């Protein structure tokens, strides 16, 4: 039985939340063949068409950038985006598409702060992720360097970092330091495990989330998002008035 089937058996869904209220998705992997997201241009177009049908007006897609694995550059990302935009134009799919990146905090990322190569969205928001096993020792210094260079740090899917599950105060401290937190929609249906869902719901209760993102890699993720839209905490976050998606 799939996790979606288990969800349907577990609880009665609410009416789908209004995605158009978000206006913009801020985290996805829709440029073909440059990371673990879209496998082809056709896949990219299919996913983007579905996003438009959901009610989105804008997508900011964010390919992985990792020094030792996904060695993407502004050229590969922006060049790939232009290919997708051209196909959207040919197929008359009217949706705004921009690109930034999801940066992995490794030994080379701090260097990029000073060489002008970082891809951001909105008002110099920079999306970054952490290793999933342990908190990196340079996290505090990285955040400080970003902020002193006028970047606004956005931490991707903080609910997925299990090393903070027994130290919830860490999430509050990050927000107090000016770090914006981006929640993944699929966390609200247990896709990353029950602990991630529990932490996600607590962060929503405490008003700590600034961005809601799909982190979409494939069409199965989009099916999961349709179920997430029927969840109580999805509605609560959409209705909270704290999200910044619509400002982008």
Q: What is the pLDDT of residue 69?
A: 87
Residues of the chain under the 50 pLDDT cut: none
The boundaries of the domain holding residue 82 are: 3-241
Q: Residue 15 domain-assigned?
A: yes
Q: Residue 117 domain-assigned?
A: yes
Q: Residue 246 domain-assigned?
A: no
Q: What is the pLDDT of residue 172?
A: 98
Distance, first Cα to last Cα, the chain: 38
- Could you give the CA distance from residue 59 to residue 248 in angstroms, rounded to a whole number? 10
Q: Residue 133 domain-assigned?
A: yes
Q: Residue 247 domain-assigned?
A: no
Number of domains in the chain: 1
- Could you give the CA distance from residue 56 to residue 65 in angstroms, rounded to a whole number? 25
Q: Residue 203 domain-assigned?
A: yes
Phi, psi values for residue 11, rounded to 5°: -150, 155
Q: What is the pLDDT of residue 235?
A: 97
Q: What is the pLDDT of residue 1?
A: 53
- Could you give the CA distance from residue 48 to residue 115 in angstroms, rounded to a whole number? 32
Q: What is the pLDDT of residue 52?
A: 98
Please report, for the domain that includes residue 72, its CATH number: 3.20.20.140
Output the DSSP codes for 181-236: EEEEGGGGGTTT-HHHHHHHHHHHHTT-EEEEE--B-SHHHHHHHHHHTTSHHHHH
6-32 pLDDT, tens per residue?
A: 555 566 789 999 999 999 999 999 999
- Could you give the CA distance from residue 70 to residue 207 in angstroms, rounded to a whole number? 33
Nearest Cα residue to 200 out of 246, 247, 162, 143: 162
Q: What is the pLDDT of residue 177?
A: 97
């Amino acid at each position: 039985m799939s996790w979606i089937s288990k969800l349907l058996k577990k609880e009665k869904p609410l009416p789908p939340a209004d995605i158009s209220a978000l206006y913009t998705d801020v985290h996805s992997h829709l440029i073909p063949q440059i990371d673990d997201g879209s496998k082809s241009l056709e896949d990219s177009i299919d996913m983007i068409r579905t996003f438009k049908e959901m009610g989105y007006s804008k997508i900011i897609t964010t390919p992985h950038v990792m020094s030792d694995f996904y060695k993407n550059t502004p050229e590969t990302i922006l060049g790939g985006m232009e290919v997708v935009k051209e196909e959207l134009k040919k197929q008359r799919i009217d949706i705004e598409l921009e690109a930034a990146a999801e940066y992995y905090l490794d030994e080379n990322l701090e260097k990029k702060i000073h060489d002008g190569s970082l891809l951001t969205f909105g008002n110099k928001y920079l999306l970054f992720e952490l290793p999933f096993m342990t908190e990196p020792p340079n996290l505090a210094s990285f955040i400080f360097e970003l902020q002193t260079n006028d970047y606004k740090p956005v931490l991707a899917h903080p609910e997925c970092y299990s090393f903070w599950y027994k130290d919830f105060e860490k999430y509050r401290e990050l927000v107090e330091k000016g770090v914006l937190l981006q929640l993944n929609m699929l966390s609200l249906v247990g896709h990353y495990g029950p602990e991630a869902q529990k932490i996600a719901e607590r962060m929503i209760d405490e008003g700590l989330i600034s961005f809601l993102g799909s982190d979409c890699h494939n069409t199965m993720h989009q099916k999961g998002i349709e179920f997430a839209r029927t969840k109580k905490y999805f509605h609560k976050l959409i209705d909270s008035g704290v999200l910044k998606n619509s400002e982008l």
